[in-house]
């Protein structure tokens, strides 16, 4: 089938590439000419495991192309996927301007029937509004389905190629059959294809992210409780995760959730509830606990150094909002780095994928290190903000020899307390006793 993807950001690039990998003829569009030029030169705009290889192969085999001309691509395709951004303001209101503009452009380009797939995350009712909007601009027939995405950055290809389920909001049997056929190669392992009404399909994405967020916030509060009762939250987590009713995922205490998905979707749920006069204080608490977690972590560091922070050089390992991505949007590390800078510390950051983005974000206020040990040279402390695998088993003796003071503030609980004691570190983590003595 010929498919057009409108919006070639994190989502659109993964969707388009995975569809091409399954044999479809895909055109990925973006209004950003530089982005499209880079992709046509084989330069990846994002760091996503396995993506580059798939993009290159499908470009070479002429199943995947990148362009800015929307009208030409829409005229050439039967299905058009909307994958543009949906920003959220401080009140949780979703800005649908990009989605509406994409719908208008698609409507204006149509020269016959099209199946339009809304993949951007939008509040319930958005697809209905877009249907009215498109119908007002074109006389050509079309259908619109809602098809939310559940992929995780850092494992997006894997998630898209082998999803836990595919959700399609659609009220037409014929269209549903087309969608089922489209996704059948991805569901060979027997995972469910779930057809439902459009509003429910739009809501599923929000519901999933609220649930995931609540697990993380509950674990972060549990971590505080563990600290107060001399329990180790890592052991407690293992005890919880073994319970089949709960399972192991999204139970890691730390710096809380970040990125663009979970925080924005949670904020939108709070706003949606307020708009309908519902009191959803549980959702609000989940968000508040998350903000507090990052604040408390920063306060712990600042309390440790006191006024002397202005003379301290602090190394930060990890800046991405999660490992295996270069996305720093909404990353907890940003708030922590900013807090350290505001307090007068010198900050040197190392992240395997986002050093460039950190430099763009903070300018000369921070320095970035080319290797992770380089960041530690002369450091008075190390903050671990992202759980990249390469940070998990470092050469502790080398770390200690490079640092001026052997103190680690680990926001991701990467090390065991015994190892930290053995190597003479003072080690602050989340929900576990401090190794090397409190202070």
Least Cβ distance, residue 38 to ligand NAD (angstroms): 11
Stretch that binds ligand NAD, among 94-102, 220-228, 246-254, 409-417 (CB under 6 A): 94-102
Q: Does 326 bind ligand NAD (CB under 6 A)?
A: no
3, 4, 5, 8: residue in contact with ligand NAD (rule CB under 6 A): 8
Phi (first) and psi of residue 48, to 5 degrees:
-145, 120
21, 30, 346, 410: residue in contact with ligand NAD (rule CB under 6 A): 30
CA dist., res. 307 & res. 310, Å (int): 7
34, 40, 89, 101: residue in contact with ligand NAD (rule CB under 6 A): 101
86, 268, 413, 429: residue in contact with ligand NAD (rule CB under 6 A): 86
Least Cβ distance, residue 130 to ligand NAD (angstroms): 13
CA dist., res. 357 & res. 30, Å (int): 21
Least Cβ distance, residue 421 to ligand NAD (angstroms): 39
Stretch that binds ligand NAD, among 134-142, 147-155, 271-279, 297-305 (CB under 6 A): 147-155
163, 256, 261, 263: residue in contact with ligand NAD (rule CB under 6 A): 261
Least Cβ distance, residue 120 to ligand NAD (angstroms): 3
How many chain residues touch ligand NAD (CB under 6 A)? Answer: 29
Q: In b/e form, how buried is each residue of 118-133, taking b as 16+ CB within 10 angstroms?
A: bbbbbbbebbeebbee
What are the CA-CA distances from residue 329 to residues 253, 261, 332 (Å)? 20, 10, 9
Stretch that binds ligand NAD, among 29-37, 57-65, 129-137, 182-190 (CB under 6 A): 29-37
Least Cβ distance, residue 19 to ligand NAD (angstroms): 15
Stretch that binds ligand NAD, among 148-156, 189-197, 220-228, 272-280 (CB under 6 A): 148-156
CB 310 within 8 A of CB 345: yes
39, 64, 102, 145: residue in contact with ligand NAD (rule CB under 6 A): 102
Residue 356 vs 404, nearer CB to ligand NAD = 356
Using alpha carbons only, give the angle 43, 46, 51 rounded to the nearest 5 degrees.
Answer: 75
Q: Does 7 bind ligand NAD (CB under 6 A)?
A: yes
134, 146, 151, 315: residue in contact with ligand NAD (rule CB under 6 A): 151
Least Cβ distance, residue 325 to ligand NAD (angstroms): 8
- In 3D, which of 80, 58, 66 has the Cα closest to residue 8? 66
52, 72, 76, 98: residue in contact with ligand NAD (rule CB under 6 A): 98
Q: Does 294 bind ligand NAD (CB under 6 A)?
A: no
Interface pattern 32-71 for ligand NAD (x via CB under 6 A): x--x----------------------------------x-
Stretch that binds ligand NAD, among 26-34, 210-218, 232-240, 342-350 (CB under 6 A): 26-34
Residue 85 vs 185, nearer CB to ligand NAD = 85
Q: CB under 8 Å to 348, separation ≥6 — which residues?
A: 313, 314, 315, 316, 366, 367, 368, 369, 375, 379
Residue nearest to ligand NAD (CB): 9
Q: Does 3 bind ligand NAD (CB under 6 A)?
A: no
Point out which residues bind ligand NAD (CB under 6 A).
6-12, 29-32, 35, 70, 83-86, 98, 101-102, 105, 120-121, 149, 151, 153, 156, 260-261
């Amino acid at each position: 089938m010929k498919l057009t993807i409108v919006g070639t950001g994190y989502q659109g690039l993964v969707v388009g590439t995975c569809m091409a990998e399954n044999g479809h003829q895909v055109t990925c569009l973006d209004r950003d000419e530089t982005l499209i030029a880079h992709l046509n030169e084989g330069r990846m705009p994002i760091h996503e495991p396995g993506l580059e290889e798939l993009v290159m192969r499908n470009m070479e085999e002429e199943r995947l192309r990148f362009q800015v001309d929307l009208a030409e691509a829409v005229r050439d395709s039967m299905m058009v996927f909307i994958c543009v951004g949906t920003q959220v303001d401080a009140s949780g209101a979703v800005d649908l301007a990009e989605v509406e503009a994409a719908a208008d452009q698609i409507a204006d380009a149509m020269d016959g029937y099209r199946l339009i797939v809304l993949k951007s995350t939008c509040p319930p009712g958005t697809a209905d509004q877009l249907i009215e909007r498109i119908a007002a601009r074109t006389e050509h027939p079309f259908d619109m389905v809602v098809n939310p995405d559940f992929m995780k950055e850092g494992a997006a290809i894997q998630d898209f190629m082998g999803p836990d389920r595919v959700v399609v909001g659609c009220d037409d049997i014929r269209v549903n059959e087309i969608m089922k056929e489209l996704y059948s190669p991805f569901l060979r392992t027997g995972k469910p294809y779930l057809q439902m009404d459009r509003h429910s399909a739009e809501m599923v994405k929000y519901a999933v992210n609220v649930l995931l967020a609540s697990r993380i916030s509950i674990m972060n509060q549990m971590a505080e409780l563990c600290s107060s009762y001399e329990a180790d939250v890592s052991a407690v987590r293992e005890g919880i995760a073994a319970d089949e009713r709960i399972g192991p995922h999204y139970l890691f205490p730390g710096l809380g959730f970040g990125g663009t998905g979970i925080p924005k979707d949670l904020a939108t749920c709070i706003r949606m509830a307020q708009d309908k006069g519902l009191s959803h204080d549980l959702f609000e608490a989940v968000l508040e606990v998350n903000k507090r977690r990052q604040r408390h972590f920063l306060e712990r560091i600042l309390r440790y150094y006191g006024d002397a922070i202005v003379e301290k050089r602090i190394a930060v390992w990890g800046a991405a909002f999660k490992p295996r991505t270069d996305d720093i949007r909404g990353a907890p590390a940003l708030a922590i780095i900013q807090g350290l800078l505001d307090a007068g510390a010198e900050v040197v950051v190392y992240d395997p994928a986002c050093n460039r983005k950190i430099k763009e974000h903070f300018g000369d206020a921070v320095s970035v290190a080319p290797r992770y040990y380089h960041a530690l040279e002369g450091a008075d402390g190390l903050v671990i903000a992202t759980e990249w695998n390469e940070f998990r088993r470092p050469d502790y003796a080398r770390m200690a020899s490079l640092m001026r003071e052997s103190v680690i503030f680990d926001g991701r609980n990467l090390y065991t307390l015994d190892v930290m004691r053995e190597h003479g570190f003072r080690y602050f983590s989340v929900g576990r006793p401090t190794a090397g003595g409190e202070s």
